[in-house]
A and B are shown apart, each in its own frame.
Chain A
Amino acid sequence: MTSKRLPSGGLIDRGTTVRFNFDGRSFTGHPGDTLASALLANGVRLVGRSFKYHRPRGIMTAGPEEPNALVELREGARREPNTKATEIELHDGLVSASQNRWPSLAFDLMSINGFAGPAISAGFYYKTFMWPKSFWEKLYEPLIRRAAGLGRAASQPDPDHYEAMHAHCDVLVVGSGAAGLAAARAAGEAGARVIICERDFVPGGGLLLSPADAAWRGDMVNALEAMPNVEILTRTNVFGYYDHNLLGAVERVSDHKAEPDQHEVRQRYRTFRAKQVVLATGASERLIAFPGNDRPGAMMAGAALTYLRRFGVVPGRNAVVFTNNDSAYETALALAEAGSGKVTLVDVRSQSALAAAMTARGIDVRLASEVAYFDGKTALVRRRGGAGGDKFVADLLCPSGGWNPNVQLASQSGAKPRWEATLASHVPGESVQAERSAGATKGIFGIGAAAYDGARAGREAAAAAGFAKAQDFALPERGPAEQPIAPFWEVKASGKSFVDLQHDVTAEDIRLAHREGFSHVEHAKRYTTHGMATDQGKLGSLVGSAILAEARGEPVEAVGVPTHRPYTMPVAFGALAGHASGAHFQPVRRTALNDWHLRNGAVMQPTGAWLRPFFYPKPGETGWEPIFREARAVRSSVGICDVSTLGKIDVQGPDAAAFLDRLYINTFSTLAVGKCRYGVMLREDGIVFDDGTTSRLAEDHFLVTTTTGNAAPVLEHMEFHAQTVWPELDVQFCSVTDQWAQVAVAGPKSRETLAAAVDGLDLSNEVFPFMGVGEGKIAGVPVRLFRISFSGELAYEIAVPSGHAETVWEAILAAGKPFGIVPYGLEAMSLMRVEKGHAAGPELNGQTTAADLGMGRMMKKSGDVIGRVLAGRPGLADPGRPRLVGIRPVDTNKRLRGGAHIVREPGSGTSMGWVSSVTQSIEHACWIGLAMVENGEALKNQRVFAVSPLHDESVEVTITSPHHVDPENLRVRA
C-alpha cells in the first residue's frame, strides 16, 4: 500500500465518509471522490487483469481514457460491465467488482497466457483459429470465452427509466475548463442562449488542478449560473457531432446514486441543435512505449497530478516521471511537495531550463535519458539509446509523451485534423460546420492562454449567431511560454512495450502488422485491434501511428490516425432507446372495434403497428379448434370480421380515372359508378407492388383500398406520380384509413343477415350483384356496402364511420343471430384465403410479377402504366419463372411447411421453387399450401416433393390449381 490520502487539499469533503465495496472488501471514501481516487486513497494498486495476457494492471489515468480500471458496477439487474473507475462518482453503498480474472484478481490462472505470449500476437484470431475447423467448438471457443471476457452484463431486465430531451441554442459550448467557461461567459454576456456541457460532475476541467485559479473558476461558475440565458449541464458527455450542427449527449442524471429516486430517470439522452458550437474539450496526455509501461504503478503524469491536486491522494512513494515536454515537471514538483520518498525526473531532452529549479526541490533530474524498464518496483533509467543505466526503486512511474488535443468532435463535424509539428500532434482543421475550437482543443495550453482563447471563441460564436454585444470580464494571467517538446514515442529495449493497454497491443504487434502487409493505419488498427477498445486508443493511438510510420520509413503525419467516429465514449443502449422500449417501442394502432374484441375474449396479435384479433377462443378450445370453428361457420353459414386495417385512399378529381389507369395494370376509367374492381399495381421495375379493390363512388370519385402493410407506401407512390410525373392531371387524394371502420360479413347466409340489418338498399343478386357498391343504413348509421369476397364465399364488406363501428357491428351480430353468426379473426381469414388461393403478403414479396401470380392477362393492351415497359423484360416475361400453384400432400396425414423447397426427388439439390403459404384446410381435411414453382402451370397434377431441411422433412405433394375451393368462383356470385 504505497498510495495514500493526504491530510488536506483537494476538492473532497473530508468531513463526510461514504462506504463502498470493491471485490467484496469494504472501503471508505469521501464525497468528491471517484471510485478510482477512493481506491488509490485506500492503497489499492491492482484493479484488473488485461484482456489478452491477463497481466495485472493498476489505475493508469483519471478520466475517460482509462484502459485498465474497468469494473462491474452495482449488482443484480443494475449490474453494468466495463465502467471506468475513473469516471464513477463515489456514493454511499457503491458496489463494484474487478473483471477478467479467474478465479480471483490476485491469483489469475489465465496470466499463464503471458508465458505463451508469442502465440497470441497480432492477427492471432485470424491465423490460429482458421484450422482445423473441428477444434473450434471444443477447444478454441471455450478458451477464448473464458480468457477474453470483459465484464458481465445484467441478465435481468433493466429496472431503470431513460428519457430523451431535445434543445435548441445559439451557442453550445462543450467542455467547462478555462476555455469553455470563458467562451460560455463571453457568449452569454453577448445575449446568446448558451448551453455548456461538462462530462465531469464538477465544472472546471484543468482549473480543478490549479489552486491558484480556484477563485476565478468560482467567480465564472457563479456568473454563469446567474445568467438566465445560460444553462450549465454537468455529468453530460457530448458523444457525437452530426449533420447541420446537431450534437448528441448523455446526461448521467442519477448514476451518482445507488439507485435513482422514485420517478427519476437514470440517464437522459440529449440532442442539441446549435447555431454555433465552441469545442473546448481539452487535451489528453499520450503514452510512451517502453517495456513495462503497463505495470501497476504506471500512471500518466497528468493523472498523478489530478490525484494529488483534486483528490488529495499521493499515488506512490518513490516516483519516476518520464517526459519529453514541460507539463510533467508540475507533477514532479507536486509529488516532491506531497510525498516522503524520492522523485526522479527523466527527460529525453538534453537541455531544460527548468532543471535547476527541480534540483533545488530535491528532485533528481536525468536529462537526455529514458526509462528502459519498469516492473512495478524498480525502474531502469539510462542515457537515450545507451546500454546499462541506473536502477531506481520506484512504485510509481509517470510517463508523459505530450498532449493530444481532443479533436474527436471537430473531426466528426468534418474538420480534418491537421498536423501541428510544435505539439507533435493533430489540431482541428478548417471548420466545415458552424463550429470553432478553443483552448487546449486547438493546441493552446496554459490556463491564461486557454481562457483568453475561449473568450475570443465565445465572442465570435455569439456574433456569428447574431449577438454582437461585447462585455469584458476578468481573465487569469497568461503564463510563460513552454520549452519545445521533443517528439518521442518509443524506448527500444527488450520486453513488452504497450501502445494499447486495454487490448494488449504492443509496439512489436504494430511492426508485425506492417511486415504482414497491413501498413495502412486503418488496416493496422483492425489487424492488431489497436484503438478498438472502450477507451478508443486515447492514450496510445498516435504512438501506434508513429511506430507504424517508422516501420514504413515515413513521417508520422503521413500515416495519420484512424478516422474519429461517434461515439467518443461508450453509451448505454438504454439511454439511446429512452422510453421507446417494450410496449412503448412504437405506437400501437387499434381499430375502432378494439374494445369489442377485448370484451369478447379475442386473442390479439400485433401485425405491423396494428393490433388485430387472432381468434376468439371459447372455453376449452385449444390449438386450431377456434380457427376451424370460425372458418366452418363462414363456409357453412355466416361470420363477421374486422377488416378496418385495410388501407383506404379517397381519390377525387376530373382526372381521377385517368390517373388510376396509369397506376394499375387494369382499367378503371371503364368502371361503372356503383361498381368495384380488383386491381394490381406494379413498381416501375415491373414487380408487383400492391393489390386491392377500387370502387367508383361517382364519376370523379374513387375509393382505393390497399393491403394493410402498404397503405403508406401506396399513398406516397400516388403522391409522387401526381405531383412530379403527371402534374397536368387534376386529381387529389387523402388517406381515410382511420376515418372508416370496415367489417366483412361472409358466408352463404351473409345476404340474409344483412337484409335484416340494412335499410335503403336492395341486396338481391339482381340489384346488388358481385362487385356491386351501394349505400344504405344500419341501425340508423349511413354505411357503404361492397359486395366483395376474400374468403371465397358470398360476402360483403361494410364501411362505417369509425365512431359508429360498434353500433353497426352489434346490429349485424343481432341480425345474424338466427344463422349462428360468429366473429372470426385473422387466422380463420388466412385459412380461407389460402383455400381460395388469393395472393397475399407471402406471394407479393417484392420478387413476383403479375404473370407469376397468374394475373398476367389483367395488363391492359395499351396506355401508359407504371411498370409496363420493364415488366416486359425477357427475364421477367420468361414463362419458366416460378408461378403460383396450389400443393396438397399425397399422404393427407403429412404436414406442410412454409419456406420448404419444391424439388423433383428427395435429396435433390435443385430447387424448383418454394412453398409460400400453408394452412390446415377445412374443405380438404389435410394441409394445403400455395407455392411458387418453375413451370408450375405445366406441372399441374404432377407429384413433386416439398423438403424442409431445417425440419429434416420431405413430403410428396401434388401440384394443383391455387384455388383449393370453388375454382369456378360460383359461390361469390350466388
Chain B
Amino acid sequence: MHLIPCPYCGERPQDEFHYRGDATVKRPAPDAGEQAFYDYVYTRANPRGWHDEWWQHYAGCRQWIRVRRNTLTHAVAASAGPADALPEATP
C-alpha cells in the first residue's frame, strides 16, 4: 500500500485516496470537437515508469492532487495541488 504525500495534509496512506487516472490530459475547449474529447476520455500513453496521476484525498482534505508515481516501482516522487506545478523532471 502506497504512502501518498498530500500537499495539504502531509504523507497519508493510500486508502485515504481515490485514484482517477492520467493527469497529463486536459479537458478540451467545448468547441474543440469530437476527436479532441475522444482523446481526452480514451487515449492514454500508459507509460512504464513515471506518470502524473490524479488522486483525491477523499478521506482527508478532499482536494484533488497530482501525484508523480512510477508505474513500474510504485515509487512516488512528488505531488502538487491542481494549480501548482510538478517538478520538470524526475530522476
Interface residues of chain A, those whose CB is within 8 Å of chain B, are: 242-244, 246, 273, 414, 432, 684-685, 716, 719-720, 723-725, 727, 863-865, 868-870, 872-873
Whether the pair A723, B64 counts as a contact (CB closer than 8 A) is yes
Interface string of B52-91 (1 = CB under 8 A from A): 0010101000111000000001101000001100000000
A/B interface sample: 14 pairs, CB < 8 A: A243-B2, A244-B76, A684-B37, A684-B40, A685-B41, A716-B56, A719-B64, A723-B82, A724-B64, A864-B30, A869-B30, A869-B33, A870-B38, A870-B41
In angstroms, Cα B54 to Cα A719, docked, is: 12
In angstroms, Cα B62 to Cα A716, docked, is: 8
B48 at the interface (CB under 8 A from A): no
Known A684-B37, A720-B54, A873-B34; contact A243-B74, beta-carbon cutoff 8 A: yes
Whether the pair B30, A723 counts as a contact (CB closer than 8 A) is no
Whether the pair A724, B82 counts as a contact (CB closer than 8 A) is yes
Counting chain B CB atoms within 10 Å of each CB, the highest count among A720, A724, A727 belongs to: A724
Cβ-neighbour of A242 out of B1, B34, B37 (below 8 A): B1
Whether the pair A727, B37 counts as a contact (CB closer than 8 A) is no
Cβ-neighbour of B41 out of A243, A273, A684, A868 (below 8 A): A684
Minimal beta-carbon separation of B77 from chain A (angstroms): 13
Whether the pair B73, A414 counts as a contact (CB closer than 8 A) is yes
Minimal beta-carbon separation of B45 from chain A (angstroms): 18
Known A244-B74, A432-B73; contact A724-B18, beta-carbon cutoff 8 A: no
Chain A residues near B2: list those with CB within 8 A. 243-244
B27 at the interface (CB under 8 A from A): yes
Whether the pair B1, A719 counts as a contact (CB closer than 8 A) is no
Known A684-B41, A720-B56, A720-B64; contact A246-B30, beta-carbon cutoff 8 A: no
In angstroms, Cα B37 to Cα A740, docked, is: 38
Minimal beta-carbon separation of A723 from chain B (angstroms): 5
Chain A residues near B33: list those with CB within 8 A. 869
In angstroms, Cα B33 to Cα A870, docked, is: 9
Those of B1-60 within 8 Å (CB) of chain A: 1-3, 14, 18, 20, 27, 30, 32-34, 37-38, 40-42, 54, 56, 58
Chain A residues near B62: list those with CB within 8 A. 719
Whether the pair A716, B1 counts as a contact (CB closer than 8 A) is no
Minimal beta-carbon separation of A615 from chain B (angstroms): 35
Counting chain A CB atoms within 10 Å of each CB, the highest count among B38, B41, B54, B83 belongs to: B41
Whether the pair B41, A244 counts as a contact (CB closer than 8 A) is no
Known A716-B58, A723-B63, A725-B27; contact A869-B37, beta-carbon cutoff 8 A: yes
Chain B residues near A724: list those with CB within 8 A. 54, 64, 82
Chain A residues near B73: list those with CB within 8 A. 414, 432
Counting chain B CB atoms within 10 Å of each CB, the highest count among A242, A723, A869 belongs to: A869
Chain B residues near A727: list those with CB within 8 A. 82-83
Chain A residues near B32: list those with CB within 8 A. 869
In angstroms, Cα B45 to Cα A809, docked, is: 55
In angstroms, Cα B32 to Cα A414, docked, is: 43
Q: A863-B30, A870-B41 are in contact. List 13 more A-B contacts (CB 8 A).
A: A242-B1, A243-B14, A244-B1, A244-B2, A244-B3, A244-B74, A716-B18, A719-B62, A724-B64, A724-B82, A864-B30, A868-B30, A869-B33
Counting chain B CB atoms within 10 Å of each CB, the highest count among A243, A684, A863, A865 belongs to: A243
Minimal beta-carbon separation of B20 from chain A (angstroms): 7
Whether the pair B1, A720 counts as a contact (CB closer than 8 A) is no
In angstroms, Cα B38 to Cα A422, docked, is: 57
Known A244-B1, A684-B40, A725-B27; contact A869-B34, beta-carbon cutoff 8 A: yes
